[in-house]
A and B are shown apart, each in its own frame.
Chain A
Amino acid sequence: MTTQPRFAAASRLLHWLMAPMIIAMLFIGVGMAASVSRRYDLLVSIHRPLGIAILVLCVARIVNRFINPPPDLPDTVPPLQRLAAKVSHIVLYALMLMMPLVGWGMLSAARYPIVLYGPVRLPPILPHDLTLYAWLREFHTVLAYLLFATFLAHLGAALYHGLIRRDGVFGSMASWEHGSMQFARTNPASIPNSTQTPAP
């Protein structure tokens, strides 16, 4: 019985702030690309500032990760799963960073005005080039589906830790109680009819 340390409060705040933003963004993106109704204009006008907000928060999150490194996974996690966890987190960070930059870049290459809200707009970051636009526009879609798939894998892994292995990994991000949580290190799956027993 040992303690599974939690993520720092700043890390948990950033995670749970960005999670709904990113999930909303995926559905807004798919929705606006499929709509010719009045919702198209509304969705596009949300998509641009929300994307830039995610970019800013993602940079803050990377800085925070150096200040507050994530807790180590418990020893009970097998090496292959450790590797999967590490790779999937690198992919998630890369996609969170690239999606808004590719979006900003593709609007720049098409010479669309990059309006955030009212008179607030961003400068172009790439030259006006149609072929570059076509390539980035396609790349934006591919990255979006990749992000959706990676998010589903992330959610699946979180639920696996939280519901099946109950090894404290889920609580290290999902718990909001004061102080650190304590969990049994023993794999509950190996104990018949086991329930999670906090250490005394």
Chain B
Amino acid sequence: MPTAPTSASAGTTPREFATVFRPGRVPVVGRFALAGGMPFQPDAPNTVRSMALSFLPPGGEEWRTGMNNMPVFPVNSARGFYEQLLAFSPDPATGKSDPAKTKAFLAAHPEAARALALIKKREVTSGFANSTFNSLNAFRFVDAAGASAPVRWSVVPVQSVAANAAGQPEAGDENYLFDELIAQIAQHPRQWRLIVTIGQAGDPTNDATQPWPEGRQQVDAGTVTIERASSEDGGRCAAVNYDPLVLPAGIEPSDDPLLSARSAVYARSFRLRAEEEHEKPPSAVTPEEVQAGGKS
């Protein structure tokens, strides 16, 4: 997947919270990916897209965040996630999930049914570069005096949003989303606004299936600029675990149980990937293609 050494510059921000928001440029390495544990899946419009970022502000701190192009997460607990995986796993005989199991899951998890309806309704754009990516989990911004506010954040594309119809996969290109992004970045840097939504008392911080009410204060915390892409082979993004609990001073975990669960599960999957690193086949998106600025 393409990585991107980039920079984020601060705008008018909650800069009293974390140094990452102070005026100036902060180096960023990121990773674009598609969700699901299927490394060879062909790109498809409705597959959940992810952008993961690692900000490296001065002073040795680090902020890692993995975001998705969904408005909410389908479940709100590790157990819910486990049960969702079991319910939706394909039956070996038919290759499809068992409708009886998925129905039972949704009946037992009404929060997942509501969240999946919101996810289904989301706007799917033509590619990575015009997708909005959301933190999904809540965090807390804490200032030097100890005052804190619940937050969620998103990166919102500066480039114009094209409806998905414009970006239907070209026949035969299984990596059209990545190929398009690589070509776009080669033309000129792609940018996203880092928008922080400040929650109010009573907004759910421990339930990633629930959107926060409309009209919450939104703060433009800076611009994420992707200046260069690289292949996951030899790139700087692949050997990083985008653990949501790697946070700088001023940003703290909320009471969302998914944060600890994500951290624990990412650590395990990172270890499994590391163990297979030496036998991993070359990426379909080659360093040569990225070097050339896209497929010729």
Contact = CB atoms under 8 A, between A and B. Distances in A.
Closest 7 CB pairs of A and B: A134-B274, A40-B264, A134-B275, A36-B261, A130-B274, A41-B260, A130-B277
20 contacts: A36-B260, A36-B261, A36-B265, A37-B260, A37-B261, A38-B257, A40-B263, A41-B245, A41-B259, A41-B263, A44-B263, A110-B241, A110-B274, A113-B60, A113-B61, A118-B249, A119-B249, A130-B277, A133-B274, A138-B275
B243 A112 contact: yes
A123 to B, nearest CB: 8
A134 B271 contact: yes
B53 to A, nearest CB: 15
B88 interface: no
Given A38-B260, A44-B263, 16 more contacts: A32-B264, A40-B260, A40-B261, A40-B264, A41-B259, A110-B239, A110-B274, A111-B240, A112-B246, A113-B246, A119-B249, A131-B278, A133-B274, A134-B275, A137-B271, A137-B274
Contacts of A110: 239, 241, 270, 274
A15 interface: no
A128 interface: yes
A37 B243 contact: no
A65 interface: no
Interface string A97-113: 00000000000001111
A110 B246 CA distance: 13
Contacts of B277: 130-131, 134
Contact of B273 (A41, A111, A130): A130
B83 interface: no
A187 interface: no
B260 A121 contact: no
Interface in B218-267: 238-241, 243, 245-246, 249, 253, 257, 259-261, 263-265
Interface of B: 60-62, 78, 238-241, 243, 245-246, 249, 253, 257, 259-261, 263-265, 270-271, 273-275, 277-278
Contacts of B62: 113
Contacts of B241: 110, 112
A41 B257 contact: no
Contact of B239 (A111, A113, A118): A111
A186 interface: no
Most buried by B among A32, A36, A133, A134: A36
Interface in A135-154: 137-138
* Chain B interface, DSSP helix/strand/loop, else mixed: helix
B78 A37 contact: yes
A40 to B, nearest CB: 4
Nearest to B258: A36
Interface residues of A, number: 24
Nearest to B59: A119
A128 B278 CA distance: 15
Contacts of B270: 110
Contacts of A130: 238-239, 273-274, 277
Contacts of B273: 130
A41 B257 CA distance: 10
Contacts of B61: 113, 119
A171 to B, nearest CB: 44
A44 to B, nearest CB: 8
A35 interface: yes
Contacts of A44: 263
A41 B239 contact: no
Interface string A10-52: 0000000000000000000000100111111100100000000
A99 to B, nearest CB: 17
Nearest to B245: A41
B206 to A, nearest CB: 10
Nearest to A39: B260
A48 to B, nearest CB: 12
A44 B261 CA distance: 12
A38 B78 CA distance: 10
Nearest to B272: A134
Contacts of A121: 60
A41 to B, nearest CB: 4
Interface in A156-200: none
A36 B278 contact: no
